[in-house]
Amino acid sequence: MIKTSRQMKDAVRTLSVAAAALGLMAGCASTPAPTEQMALSRAALDTALSAGGNEYAPLQLQAAMNKMDAAEKALAKEDYAEARKLAEQAEVDAKLASAMARSAKAQKASEAVQDDIRVLRQEIDRNAK
């Protein structure tokens, strides 16, 4: 499911083109730079990475990273509305990745305990024989 760098480049390029078109054609409202939102998104990404999102929620993490990259590029082009929108999406994606990773871990732990119980039961059965 992990994309090749080429695929990623394609995606980035598509998004950039769309953003540029959006900026040029619909400059309906001018917005301030989403500095705070960018920081929040980055923090959420970091958290997702450290929570093991790479392992347990690779799709969500990948999406978040892609959107974050796009947000950075939009920010660099001073397309602030686009940057905010992408950053917001990246934040929730990253948070979802974190939640999924934690959930998966918890389930794993639960399964481990269940396994323990099963093994113990087998032992008991074996000893009882």
Partner 1 sequence: MQKNRYLPLSLIAAGILSACSTVPPQNATLSDARSSYNSARSNPQVTKLAPLELKEAGETLDKADAALTKGETETTVNQLAYLAKQKVAIAEETARRKNAELEVASSSAKRDQVRLEARTAEADAAKQRAEIAQQTADQRAQALAVASAQSQRDQTLIAARLAELEEAKKQAAIAQQASDEQAAALTEARIQAERDQALINARMAEVEEARQQATLAQQAADQRAAALAEANAKAERAQALIAQQEMQLKELNAKKTDRGMVITLGDVLFNVNKAALSSGGIANVKKLAEFLQKYPQRNVVIEGHTDSQGSDSYNQALSERRAEAVQKTLVEMGISRDRIATRGYGESTPVANNETAAGRQLNRRVEIVLPDAVPDAQR
72 binds partner 1 (CB under 8 A): no
123 binds partner 1 (CB under 8 A): yes
Stretch that binds partner 1, among 34-42, 58-66, 71-79 (CB under 8 A): 58-66
Of 42, 44, 38, 39, give the one whose Cα is nearest residue 84. 38
Taking the C-alpha atoms of residue 53 and residue 111, their distance in angstroms, rounded to an integer, is 19
Of 7, 106, 129, give the one whose Cα is nearest residue 66. 7
Contact code string over 88-117 relative to partner 1, x by CB under 8 A: xx--xx-xx--xx-xx-xxx-xx--xx-xx
Helical pair 35-50 and 58-76, crossing angle rounded to 10 deg = 150
Contact code string over 9-48 relative to partner 1, x by CB under 8 A: --x--xx--x--xx--xx-x--------------------
Q: Report residue 80 CA to chain centroid gap.
A: 21
- Give least dist CB 118 to partner 1, A: 9
Start-end of H helices in 1-129: 5-25, 35-50, 53-56, 58-76, 80-128
* Interface with partner 1 (CB under 8 A): 1, 11, 14-15, 18, 21-22, 25-26, 28, 59, 62-63, 85, 88-89, 92-93, 95-96, 99-100, 102-103, 105-107, 109-110, 113-114, 116-117, 120-121, 123-124, 127-128
